[in-house]
Amino acid sequence: MEKKEQKRHQHKHSGPKADKKNRKKEQGTEPERDERKRNPRAFSVQSAVRMAKTFHRTQDIKTKKHHIPLVDRTPLEPPPVVVVVMGPPKVGKSTLIRCLIKNYTRQKLSDICGPVTIVSGKKRRLTFIECNNDINSMIDLAKVADLVLMLIDASFGFEMETFEFLNICQVHGFPRVMGVLTHLDTFKNNKTLSKTKKRLKHRFWTEVYQGAKLFYLSGMVYGEYQTQEVKNLGRFISVMKFRPLVWRTSHPYVVADRMEDLTDPEDIRLNPKCDRTVSLYGYLRGTFLKNKCQVHIPGVGDFSVADVSFLPDPCPLPEVIKKRALNVKERLLYAPMAGVGGLVYDKDAVYIDMPSGHGSQQQEVRPTTELVQSLIGTQATLDAKMAASKVSLTCLMFSVLIVRKQNPMESREWDERAQRERRRAVFADEDDDDDDDDDGDGEQESDEEEDEEEDDEEDEDEEGVTTLKKHDKTAAETAAPPVKKQKCEVPMEMPAFADSDDELEKSEEDESEEDESEEEEENEENEEMEEGEPAKKSSGPDSGLCSEDDDEDEEEDSDTDEDGDGTVKSKMSSKHPEEENIDTDDAEMEVQNGHNLEDLAQKATEAYLRHQLAAPNLRKLVYGTVAEKEEDDSNDEEELGGLFKVNRPEKSKKVRADAMDCSRFQPDNSHDWDQEEVRSSIRDCFVTGKWEEDKDAATLLKEDEELYGDFEDLETGQVHKAKTGNKDQAEEAPQVKLDDDEVQKNKRLEKKRRLKERFDAQYDDGDATYFDDLKEEMQKQAELNRQEFEDVDDEIRVQYEGFRPGMYVRVEIPALPCEFVTNFDPHYPIILGGLGPSEGNVGYLQMRLKKHRWHNRILKTRDPLILSLGWRRFQTIPLYYIEDHNGRHRLLKYTPEHMHCGATIWGPITPQGTGFLAVQTVGGIKASFRIAATGVVLDLDKSVTIVKKLKLIGYPYKIFKNTSFIQGMFNTVLEVAKFEGASIRTVSGIKGQIKKALRTPPGAFRATFEDRLLMSDIVFLRSWYPASVPQLYNPVTSLLMPVGQKETWAGMRTLGQLKHDLGIRNKPNQDSLYKPVVRQVRHFNPLHIPKELQKALPFKNKPKQMQAKGKTPRDLQRPAVVREPHEKKVAALLDALSSVYAYKNKKARAEQHAKHKEFLKQKEKQEAERQKRMKEERKKTYRAMGQKEKKKLKSSLKGASKDN
C-alpha cells in the first residue's frame, strides 16, 4: 500500500544535452504559442456545413442574450421597495418583520398592521407588508411586491399557499422571491435537518429558478430570530436589485398606508350608509400619476380621483449622503396604520401615540408626525379637523418652503376653503392677524375637544384599560406641549396665511413679512392694481394673476392690437409690451432682493419668477393660470369652456361655441412680401442665406484646415503650415485676456471632440450594430427625460409630468361605498391602481387560457370564474373555444386537459399581453389547488367571433332518382331561401345541395344528391351559429365585507353548485341515456332462381331440391315390441347382472389406479435417491480428478522451475 519515495529526475543544467534543450526551447517558443500555426491541419476547414452550423449556433446564443432595450425611467429618488412577507399562518411572518424592523431602525413594533415603511440605508427605503392567508390579499400583494420573502415552515414542508402564491407571482410579472426557512430548531437530528434543507431547496429551485436564494433562520432566542441571521437577511434585502416589470412601469399605483374619511359627519348622521369621501395616502410607484385619472381599488371597484396632491415625505432619505452608516435620527419608521407615526387604530377609535422616551428627538426628526397627529382627531368634526390640519400644515409648509423651496399641495386645499376670506384680507395686516388668531383659537379649541373626548373614552373603557391604553394616555398628555408650541408659532406664520391662491404671491408675502417697508410698497402696488390703473406695474408676476388681472391684460392686449393694426407685427409679437412690463417688474424684484439676499425663501421666489418669465403668456393663453384651473376644478368641471372664456380675446368669444371647424391658420394681418425689409426678415431660412457660426461652410473649412493643415508636400519638399487662428486672436488678446483663454480652451475642446468623432466614425461605428444604436438612443432619451424638468419647481412640474413615482401623495376619492370605511381592516392591503386611457371601459376580451396542471378539474363553458387581470379581480363568465385550421373559433364545452384554448369574456379593457389567472372561488378552500387556469390577453373587441356547431336535420318525403324533396329542416320558405345552394349530406355520406323551396309543406325544399336516397335516409346540414357571451362583469368586493369575513366573498354560483345547494337533480333527456343496444333480427327472403337459369346451371351450382321428408309409409314403420312376463324377467336379470359387472369393473379400476399411484411415488423416491447418489459419486470423481490435475500442475510447475 505504501508508496515508495522515488528519486526525482534531475534536469541537466549544463552539457550538450542541456544546450540542445535550450536551443530547442528558444526556437520552439514561437510556433508552440500559436496552436494554429503549429498544427494547421487540425484547424483547417473540414466541413463548410459544420462550420456554418457552429457559426449560426454561436450567433444564436449571442442574440438570445439580447433584450429589447428599454428607456430607463426609474426616478432619481425611488419609492420604498415593497417587501411582502408571505407564508401560511403560524410560520413566523410577524416575528420576522419585527426582527427586521428592529434590525434596521432599533425600534420595536408590537403590532404589525398595515404597511410599515423604514429607511434601511443611504439610498433605500423599505415598506414591509404582511400577507395574510387569503387568496385575495395574495393576489393583490403579488401585483405590487418588489420582493417577496416567502416563509416556509421547515418542520412541516411546503404548503399549498406557497405554490399558489408563486403561481400568482408568475402570472403578474415575477417579482424577486427569496425563501426563508423557519422552525429549523424543531429538528433534533442533524442529518434529517440537512436532508430536509436540501430537499426543500431543490423543490424551491424548480419553482423559482435554479440557484434562487433560500435563507435559513435556525432558531428563536427569546421569541426572536437570531440577530446575526436577521442582520444577514437585512443585508441581502438592502443590496438586492430589481427588474422593471411591464405592467408596473406602465401604470401608476399607490399602496395606501393611511386612510381617512373626509365625509361630512352631518351627512353620516343623517344617512349612515351614505357614500364616503376618503383620502388615501401612500408613496406613488410605477409611473406618473395624472390628476383626475381613473383608479381601481382591488376589492372595492373603479373610481375617479377627485384630487391628488403631494405631501412632504414622511420617511425621507437622509439629505446629505455621508460615507458612514445612518445615524439614529435618520433611521425613520413610518407606519400610521400600525400606530407609529402617531396613530393606533382601534375598532371604534383612533389613538394618538407619542412615545415620551425620546420626545425631543422626535420633534426634530419628524414634523410630519405632528402633522399626522393634528390631522386626525377621533371624533372631532370634520371642520375642526380640517382647520387643525391646516394650521399645522401651513406651519410645516412654511418650514419646508424655507428649507427646500417647495410647497406641499395641502396648502392649496386650504386655499380653496379660505379663498374668499383671503381676498378680502389681502392688503390689510390687521385682518390677517385676526384671521390667524381665529384659526389658532379654533385649533386650540379643537385640540381641547380632542383631549376631552379622549378622556371620555378613557372613562368609558375604564374596565378594560390595558397597559397600552395607559401608555396612550400618557402619550397624549405628553403630546400637549408640541401643540402649544404650534400656537406659539402662529404669529410667525401670519404671512403664510396672508396669501392668495397663487404660490408666487405667497412667497412674495413671505418676503413682505420680513421687510415691512417692502410690504407697504407692495400693498401700494396692489392698491393701484385694484383701482384699475394702467397695469404697467401691476401685472408683474404673471402667474399669480387672478382672473380680473387677466381680463385687464387681455383688454390691454386688445387695445394694443387695435392700436397696432397698421403695423406689421403679428398677433404674437403684439404681446411684447406686456413682456416688457414683466421685465421691468423683474428688475423691481431684483432690487427688492438686494435688500436681503440671504433669504432662501426669496431665492425660491426668484427661481420661480425666472421660470415664469421663461414661459410667459403662452402658457396662460393656452391653459389659463393655475389658479383658475383650480377654481374650475372646484366648480365640478361642468363648465370646461369656462376657463377659456377669461383669456380669449373679445372677438373670438362671440363665435366660440359654433365656430368653423378648420385647421387652417389664416394670418390676420399678413406681411407685405413685396417690401424688401420684410423679405429680408426670412432671408436666413433658406440655404442661400447666412448660416450659423458652427455650421457655416467657411468656418468648417477653416477648422478642417487647422486640424489637417500640417503636411509636407513630398514631391516639392514644401512644408505647409496650418494657419492657426491664434494669431488673429493674439491681436485681440490685449482687449479681453480672460475671454481669450476661455475661447482657446473651448476651441481646443471642440477640436478634440471633432477629432474623436471622426476617429469613432472611422473605426468604432463601423461595426456598431442596430442594437447598439438602439441602446444609445434609449440612453439619450433617458437623459433627456431626467434633465427636462429637473430645475422646474415641483408644483409646476407636477402639472407637466403628473405626479412622479417616489412622491408621497394624498389621493382624494369621492363616492366610495360606506362599507369601505365601516369595515376597514388595516391588515388587508389597499392598493390604488391607476388605469390607462380607455382601461376603465368594458368590452369583450379574447384570451389564451390553459387549465393549470395542478388543478384537478377541467373548466366548463359558462361556469362563472373569478379572474385576476391587471389590477382587478372580478367574476365573469368565459366561453372557451378553439381555433380551427381555417381561423374559425369553435366553441368548446370544456377546456382541454393539457392544451391551451381560447376564452372570451366580457370584462375590463386591458392591454394585450397582460397575464391573468383564474380561480373558481375566493371564499374558503374547496379545491386542493385553487388556481384554476392561467393565460394571457390576446385581443380586445366589441363583438364576439365564437361559433357553435349546428346540425339541421331533415327527412326525404319524395325521391325521384337523384332529386329528393326534403322536409322538416326549415319552417318557412324564407328560411330555405337563405340557405339556397348550401351543401347537405346524408348520414350514409351522400352529398347534395339545396336547390329551391317548395310551396307546400312550408319549409320543404328540393335538393339534388350525387346518388339516389332512400326513404330511411336522414339529411343534415352542417352550419355554424354565433354564440353570445354573457355580459357578466362582477368585481370582487372583498374589502367591503365585514371585518373577519373578508375571505368569504361569494359571487355568482355555478349551475352545478346551485343545483347541489337547492337539491335539484338533473332530469336527463331520455334520448341521451345509454341503453343496451337491442338489434332486431333481420329476416331475409329466400333466394329465388328463375327456372330457366336453374336449368342452365351446372349440377354443382344447381339448387338442391331438398324436399321435406314426408310421412314414413306404414310398411317402413317399425312395430312396437311388447315383452312377455318371462322375457321381462330375463331382461331385468340381465340388467342387474350387467350393472353388477360394471360396478365390479369400476372398483377394480380404482384400486388399480391407487396402486399405480403408489408405485409411481416409490419410483420417484428411488429415482431421487439414485440421483443423489450419482451426484455424490460424480462429485467424488471430479474432486479426485481435480486433485489429480492440481498435482499434475504442481508437479509440472515444480518441474519447470527446476528446469529454469
> Among residue numbers 1082 through 1141, which ones bind other proteins (CB under 8 A)?
none
Q: Judged by CB under 8 A, which of 231, 290, 417, 860 binds other proteins?
A: 290
> CA 777, 782, 785, 786 torsion: positive or negative?
negative
Are the CB atoms for 128 and 1039 separated by under 8 Å? Answer: no
CB of 72 to other proteins, least distance (A): 10
548 versus 639: smaller Cβ distance to other proteins: 639
783 versus 1169: smaller Cβ distance to other proteins: 783
Q: Judged by CB under 8 A, which of 549, 556, 633, 801 binds other proteins?
A: 801
638 versus 1115: smaller Cβ distance to other proteins: 638
Q: Judged by CB under 8 A, which of 688, 1000, 1107, 1204 binds other proteins?
A: 688
CB of 289 to other proteins, least distance (A): 9
CB of 665 to other proteins, least distance (A): 3
Q: Judged by CB under 8 A, which of 49, 239, 614, 738 binds other proteins?
A: 614
Of 366, 360, 442, give the one whose Cα is nearest residue 400. Answer: 366
Q: Judged by CB under 8 A, which of 51, 328, 480, 572 binds other proteins?
A: 572
Q: How far apart are CA 999 and CA 991, in angstroms?
A: 24
Q: Judged by CB under 8 A, which of 328, 587, 618, 1193 binds other proteins?
A: 618
CB of 855 to other proteins, least distance (A): 26
Q: Judged by CB under 8 A, which of 66, 199, 292, 358 binds other proteins?
A: 292
Q: Judged by CB under 8 A, which of 215, 644, 854, 1020 binds other proteins?
A: 644
CB of 142 to other proteins, least distance (A): 23
C-alpha cell at 1: 500500500
Instruction: Point out which span in 359-367, 392-400, 468-476, 656-664 binds other proteins (CB under 8 A).
Output: 656-664
DSSP 3-state of 92: coil
Q: Does 616 bind other proteins (CB under 8 A)?
A: yes
Q: How far apart are CA 706 and CA 1146, in angstroms?
A: 139
Q: Does 714 bind other proteins (CB under 8 A)?
A: no
Q: Does 711 bind other proteins (CB under 8 A)?
A: no
DSSP label at 760?
I
Of 651, 1039, 575, give the one whose Cα is nearest residue 826. Answer: 1039
70 versus 1136: smaller Cβ distance to other proteins: 70
Q: Judged by CB under 8 A, which of 686, 770, 1084, 1099 binds other proteins?
A: 686
DSSP 3-state of 55: helix
Of 283, 272, 276, 282, give the one whose Cα is nearest residue 261. Answer: 276
How are beta strands 258-261 and 253-255 bridged, if at all?
unpaired
Q: Does 788 bind other proteins (CB under 8 A)?
A: yes
Count CA within 13 A, CB hemisphere, residue 462: 4
Instruction: Point out which span in 32-40, 43-51, 87-95, 291-299 binds other proteins (CB under 8 A).
Output: 291-299
Q: Judged by CB under 8 A, which of 356, 652, 726, 971 binds other proteins?
A: 652
Of 455, 478, 451, give the one whose Cα is nearest residue 465. Answer: 455
Looking up cell 317402413, which residue turns up? 1116
> Among residue numbers 872 through 911, which ones bind other proteins (CB under 8 A)?
909, 911
790 versus 897: smaller Cβ distance to other proteins: 790
Of 940, 934, 899, 902, give the one whose Cα is nearest residue 916. Answer: 934
CA 98 to each of CA 47, 90, 230: distance values in angstroms, whole numbers, following the listed order:
66, 15, 10
User: Quick one: 205 exposed, middle or buried, by C-beta within 10 A (0-12, 13-18, 19+)?
Assistant: middle
Q: Judged by CB under 8 A, which of 40, 157, 641, 1001 binds other proteins?
A: 641
How are beta strands 307-311 and 253-255 bridged, if at all?
unpaired
Q: Tell me the site size for other proteins, rule CB under 8 A.
A: 80
Q: Does 619 bind other proteins (CB under 8 A)?
A: yes
Are the CB atoms for 751 and 707 separated by under 8 Å? Answer: yes
Q: How far apart are CA 879 and CA 863, in angstroms?
A: 9
Q: How far apart are CA 895 and CA 702, in angstroms?
A: 76
CB of 883 to other proteins, least distance (A): 10
Looking up cell 344447381, which residue turns up? 1102
CB of 582 to other proteins, least distance (A): 12
Are the CB atoms for 120 and 854 separated by under 8 Å? Answer: no
Q: Does 689 bind other proteins (CB under 8 A)?
A: yes
Instruction: Point out which span in 148-156, 177-185, 226-234, 688-696 binds other proteins (CB under 8 A).
Output: 688-696
CB of 562 to other proteins, least distance (A): 18
Of 105, 110, 613, give the one whose Cα is nearest residue 327. Answer: 105
CB of 508 to other proteins, least distance (A): 24
C-alpha cell at 234: 437585512
> CA 1171, 1174, 1180, 1181 torsion: positive or negative?
negative
Contact track, other proteins, 658-677, x by CB under 8 A: xxxxxxxx-x--xx-x----
Contact track, other proteins, 746-785, x by CB under 8 A: -----------------------------------x--xx
CB of 356 to other proteins, least distance (A): 46
CB of 860 to other proteins, least distance (A): 27
Q: Does 799 bind other proteins (CB under 8 A)?
A: yes
Beta strands in 236-346 (DSSP E): 253-255, 258-261, 276-285, 294-297, 301-304, 307-311, 333-334, 343-345
692 versus 731: smaller Cβ distance to other proteins: 692
DSSP H/E element including 834: strand 831-834
> Among residue numbers 1144 through 1173, which ones bind other proteins (CB under 8 A)?
none
At a CB cut-off of 8 Å and minimum separation 6, what does 1020 contact? 951, 952, 953, 954, 984, 985, 986, 987
Are the CB atoms for 550 and 620 separated by under 8 Å? Answer: yes
213 versus 645: smaller Cβ distance to other proteins: 645
Instruction: Point out which span in 21-29, 314-322, 735-743, 837-845 binds other proteins (CB under 8 A).
Output: 837-845
- Rg from Cα positions in the chain: 49
> Among residue numbers 223 through 282, which ones bind other proteins (CB under 8 A)?
250
CB of 409 to other proteins, least distance (A): 16
Q: Judged by CB under 8 A, which of 355, 843, 896, 968 binds other proteins?
A: 843
Give the distance from CA 95 to its chain's centroid. Answer: 29
CB of 612 to other proteins, least distance (A): 12
Beta strands in 116-216 (DSSP E): 116-119, 125-130, 147-153, 176-182, 214-216
CB of 812 to other proteins, least distance (A): 16
CB of 757 to other proteins, least distance (A): 18
> Among residue numbers 918 through 957, which ones bind other proteins (CB under 8 A)?
938-943
Q: How far apart are CA 672 and CA 678, in angstroms?
A: 7
